[in-house]
Amino acid sequence: MPVITLIGRTASGAREVGPRVASLLDIDFVDQQLMVQAAQRCGVSVGVVAEHDERYGSFRQRVVGVINTILERSAASGADPLAGPGSLEAVLSRSYAEVGLGEEEKDLSDQTYLDTVAAIITELAASGRIVILGRGSQMILADLPRALHVLCVAPKELRYQRFAEREGIGMEEAKRRVDEGDRAREAFYKKFWKVDVQDPCLYDLTIDTSHFTLDQATELIATAVRVKAGD
């Protein structure tokens, strides 16, 4: 049964392709749940775990981006940014609750984070029916014979455009957040594995999503799974 690791820079398409692959192959898909499980095992909030995560830059910017979007929309419509279900107060209270901000936090060492995430990913892979998005899964499972490691890429300008459309933000804000997300991911892999995350030698398959639709990319991965399994 397939174990697939999927990685890609911000707005490369990996986040969208992952669930499609899992649905097509009728297997599980895991992304943010990894941080929740790691937080539970370490006895800390998700926010503490997120500080070690490969997407910490984009995570840290998410609240700022949401605030800017609300203010921009309120200015355009004349609405009160402090009122309603989509208000700053509502969004911030929800975001803070999600990450556990404001609580007294324990420290989490890099090694504890890595050991915990590696243990969770290894346990998940033992089921043999899973797609794992990022979190160093391609490194942690590098020696697992049945695992298929996939890298999604796309030109930077296209990624800026996709991110702006996905998040409903301006192009300059999109560029800033995409670039910060890229830097955070690169730093994560340099820090823990001393590798270039974009090195094609780390993967069985690299897909440029500017040349294929998300559904086509999904089919390519499913085909690669069957080929590697010898079907």
The token duo for 107 is 């420290």
- Closest to 9 in 3D by CA, of 141, 183, 190, 200: 183
Contacts of 47 (CB under 8 A, 6+ apart): 99, 100, 101, 105
Determine the pLDDT at residue 100.
Answer: 41
Which run of H or E residues covers position 75? helix 56-77
Domains of the chain: 3-40+109-229 (3.40.50.300)
Beta strands in the chain (DSSP E): 3-8, 28-30, 130-133, 147-153, 205-208
Are the C-beta atoms of residues 152 and 8 closer than 8 Å to each other?
yes
pLDDT in tens, 2-34: 899 999 999 999 999 999 999 999 998 888 676
The token duo for 53 is 């995560």
pLDDT in tens, 148-190: 999 999 999 999 999 999 999 999 999 999 999 999 889 989 9
Q: Which 3 state secondary structure label does DSSP give 4?
A: strand
- Closest to 198 in 3D by CA, of 188, 186, 209, 187: 186
Q: Is the pTM of this model over 0.85?
A: no
- Closest to 132 in 3D by CA, of 156, 145, 141: 141
Determine the pLDDT at residue 52.
Answer: 63
Which run of H or E residues covers position 165? helix 156-167
Please provide the average confidence, as pLDDT, over all residues in the chain: 80
Are the C-beta atoms of residues 218 and 20 closer than 8 Å to each other?
yes
Confidence of residue 42 (pLDDT cuts 50, 70, 90): confident
What percent of the chain has pLDDT above 70? 69
Sheet bearing 205-208, strands edge to edge = 28-30, 130-133, 3-8, 147-153, 205-208
Angle at 7 between CA 230 and CA 136, to 5 degrees: 95
* Amino acid (1-letter code) at residue 136: G
Cα→Cα distances 208→43, 180, 189, Å? 39, 21, 21
What 8-state DSSP symbol labels residue 46?
Answer: H
Which run of H or E residues covers position 125? helix 110-126
